Each structure stands twice: as C-alpha cells, then as structure tokens.
Amino acid sequence: MKFTIAVLPGDGVGPEVIGEAVKALEAVGHKHGHAFEMRHGRIGGNAIDEFGTALPPETLALAKGSDAVLFGAVGGPKWDSPNATVRPEDGILGIRKELGLFANIRPVKAYPQLVNASPLKPNVVKGVDMIILRELTGGLYFGKPKRRWTTSRGRRGVDTMLYTEKEIARILRVGFDLARGRRKKLASVDKFNVLATGRLWREIATELGREYPDVELEHILVDNAAMQLVRNPARFDVMVAENTFGDILSDEAAVLGGSMGMLPSASLSDLPSAGKRAKGVGLYEPIHGTAPDIAGKGIANPMAAILSAAMMLRYSFGLDREAAAIEAAVEGVLAEGYRTQDIAGDGGQVVSTSKMGEVIVGRI
C-alpha cells in the first residue's frame, strides 16, 4: 500500500528522534511491501525564524494533504521571551484545531525491563498497560467566557467548562471502542458530585454503556482517579476524561512509564475499526517536549517517537501487523539491554539516539 506522511520534526530533540522514527517506518515499509512518501515541513520555533509564523500555510496544507502527520516537538528558550508576539506552541495548537483532532490517545506501558526506572515502587508499576484517552478540543481550555478583568474589589478571572452532548458522546465512543479491542474495561472520569458537566458526562457514559454490554464501565471521580493511578495503576485498561482532567492525569500517568522518552501518543478525528484506514488525518507525536537540556547531544531516547510511528501504522493506516513489528522490536532491544541515558538506571549498554534507532531497525 502507499501512504503519504507529513514529517514535522520541530525544534530541539524533535529532529533527532523523528529522524529515527522515519528510519523505522522505512524499514517496516521495506519489509512488508508498503511505500511511505515522507514530505518534510517546518513548524514551531524554526518556522518562526524562517517565515515569522509557527504554522506556515505550506505546512498546514502539507498536513491536510497527507494521510497522517508525524510530529516531533516545538519550543525552547530561544523563543520564550514574554514579549514575543508569536509562540512555537501556536504551531501545534493550530494544527490540532485545523485537523479537528478531538481524541488524544496516550498508551502507558511499564516495560518489565524498566520497572526500576519509575520513581514509584516496582510492585506498583509492574504490569501497567493502559491507555489514557483525553478529550482535546472542548471544555475549560476553549469555553467562553474566558477573560480576566479588574474591579474596585480586585482582579478577577473566568474560564468556562462547556461541553455539548455530541462532544461527550464522541469521545466516550472512542473510549468504548478502544476498550473493546483490549481488556474490555473503561474507566470514565468525571467530577459528578460537583460539576454540571460532570453529571452530564456520567449520564451519557451510562447511556452509551448499554450499547457496549461487553465492556465493563466504571465511573470514577477525578480525585480518586489521580490517587488510584499511583496506588494501583495496573487495574486500569482504558481511562477516558475531559480535556483538563485528561491533561493532568496523563502527565501523572507518564511517571509510570519510567521516562518521557518512552511514551508515544496519537491525536485523531475518528477511530477506524481495527484493520481499517482512518478517514481523517491523524497526528502522532512523542509526549515529551524539545528537551533543550539534551538537544544536539545525540543522547535523546527515540523510542517514544518510534512507538508513535507504530501508532500511526495501527490507527491511521490499519496496519496492525506492521505496528506490532515495531513494538516488538522496541521490546526486543530493551530485553537485549540497550538503553539511552534516561532509562539507564539499572545498567545495560548506554547508546546514542542513532545507535538505538539502528538496533531497532535491525530487529524490524
């Protein structure tokens, strides 16, 4: 099969890790007889330097005209001035909005070889294999009114958590569908006891649950979810939450994986059934940022980017077998003892970004 991929490496370690993800895709394409046409574009700080905008129209057109987007990360101290009128983050926020990416999927897996890399006890992280699904385009971050002002009694600010039935139902459906393809457990996070949106969320989750009798639905308050994620995370399969809760819980859960360098993500506008191509353009990115402290040193962990490429094969292209080949290669090199410095806690052979990419490609 033939696919076009918009490759947007961004800033800092973005180009270093995305370069290895591209090699992994090419290797899997070669092995399984698929052609991936890679079209590169600028986004973030380097786009500001060259074009004066974080999301040049050519980059957006490139993304919209491709089958999927492979994105690195954007930002860094160079563009951090409080007086800056354009910000690197505008690049990724703009692309998410333009592509209608409402579902953010973050798998969190504690690889047995890395259980000691987490700051949590090995017996807590052992066996963790879950997905955090975050609603990405609604809620508190976008609801209006959103403003701050000054009164005679001091400064005030307001944000609005607004959700429509349609927005809640479509993200919950993705959650049920994901759970159906896994261990069939969905934890729906809300703040039912205090928020009107929370009550609506729980009501709709309960209604939809009747259409998915094979999926065990659990309602969990967000505060309890935050606690259970560090007490007994292995009990979760798929956890679904609105935008703000999902933002916070997914960063908390990242600790379970041992390093930012291990965690991939996908942002989608639809979830195709297993083995089918997506209708919309999905965006795939490691969850980490540009890591300015290690950028340019060739020591960043490329696994999160490579695993993001595997998610692209699975969710956008319907290539499950090929995705599994990349994931097995990552597990294989971990088992062989290859480590980048961020996951070197227990010893093993510490290798560079490109060497790690090379041994993964070798296994593919």
User: Binding of ligand NAD at residue 308 (CB under 6 A)?
Assistant: no
Closest CA to 171 of 205, 200, 197: 205
DSSP designation for 38 = E
Largest CA distance in the chain: 69
CA atoms within 13 A on the CB side of 129: 7
Q: Where are the strands (E) in 33-117, listed by range?
A: 35-40, 68-73, 103-109
The least distance separating ligand NAD from the CB of residue 173, rounded to whole angstroms, comes to: 26
Tokens linked to 106 = 């973050």
Among 22, 130, 161, 291, binds ligand NAD (CB under 6 A): 291
The least distance separating ligand NAD from the CB of residue 186, rounded to whole angstroms, comes to: 26
Among 75, 138, 209, 246, binds ligand NAD (CB under 6 A): 75
* φ, ψ at 284 (rounded to 5°): -125, 130
Q: Is 191 a catalytic residue?
A: yes
Q: Is 237 a catalytic residue?
A: no
Among 27, 205, 241, 300, binds ligand NAD (CB under 6 A): 300
* φ, ψ at 262 (rounded to 5°): -105, -10
Displacement of CA 345 from its chain's centroid (Å):
25
Cβ proximity to ligand NAD: between 11 and 237 the closer is: 11
Number of CB atoms found within 10 A of residue 164's CB = 11
User: Binding of ligand NAD at residue 301 (CB under 6 A)?
Assistant: yes
What CA–CA distance (Å, rounded) separates 56 from 65? 14
Residues 255-284 contacting ligand NAD, CB under 6 A: 260-261
User: Binding of ligand NAD at residue 334 (CB under 6 A)?
Assistant: no
- Size of the residue set binding ligand NAD (CB under 6 A): 20
User: Binding of ligand NAD at residue 229 (CB under 6 A)?
Assistant: no
Cβ proximity to ligand NAD: between 56 and 75 the closer is: 75
User: Binding of ligand NAD at residue 288 (CB under 6 A)?
Assistant: yes
Number of CB atoms found within 10 A of residue 74's CB = 30
Per-residue contact flags (x/-) with ligand NAD for residues 146 to 165, judged by CB under 6 A: --------------------
Cβ proximity to ligand NAD: between 327 and 342 the closer is: 342
What CA–CA distance (Å, rounded) separates 255 from 73? 19
Cβ proximity to ligand NAD: between 106 and 288 the closer is: 288
Among 17, 120, 136, 333, binds ligand NAD (CB under 6 A): 17
Q: Is 251 a catalytic residue?
A: yes
User: Binding of ligand NAD at residue 319 (CB under 6 A)?
Assistant: no
User: Binding of ligand NAD at residue 74 (CB under 6 A)?
Assistant: yes
Cβ proximity to ligand NAD: between 197 and 265 the closer is: 265
Q: Tell me, what amino acid is at 250?
A: S
Cβ proximity to ligand NAD: between 50 and 223 the closer is: 50
What CA–CA distance (Å, rounded) separates 282 from 266? 7
User: Binding of ligand NAD at residue 357 (CB under 6 A)?
Assistant: no
Which residues face 221 on adjacent strands?
Answer: 190
DSSP designation for 300 = -
Cβ proximity to ligand NAD: between 18 and 62 the closer is: 18
Active-site choice (78, 90, 129, 141): 141
Among 100, 292, 318, 345, binds ligand NAD (CB under 6 A): 292
**How is 95-148 classified by DSSP, letter by letter?**
HHHHTT--EEEEEEE--GGGGGGSSS-HHHHTT-EEEEEEE-SSGGGTEEEEEE
DSSP designation for 336 = H
Q: Which residues are catalytic?
A: 141, 191, 223, 247, 251
In the complex, the residues that contact ligand NAD under the rule CB under 6 A are 13, 17, 73-76, 92, 260-261, 288-294, 300-301, 304, 342
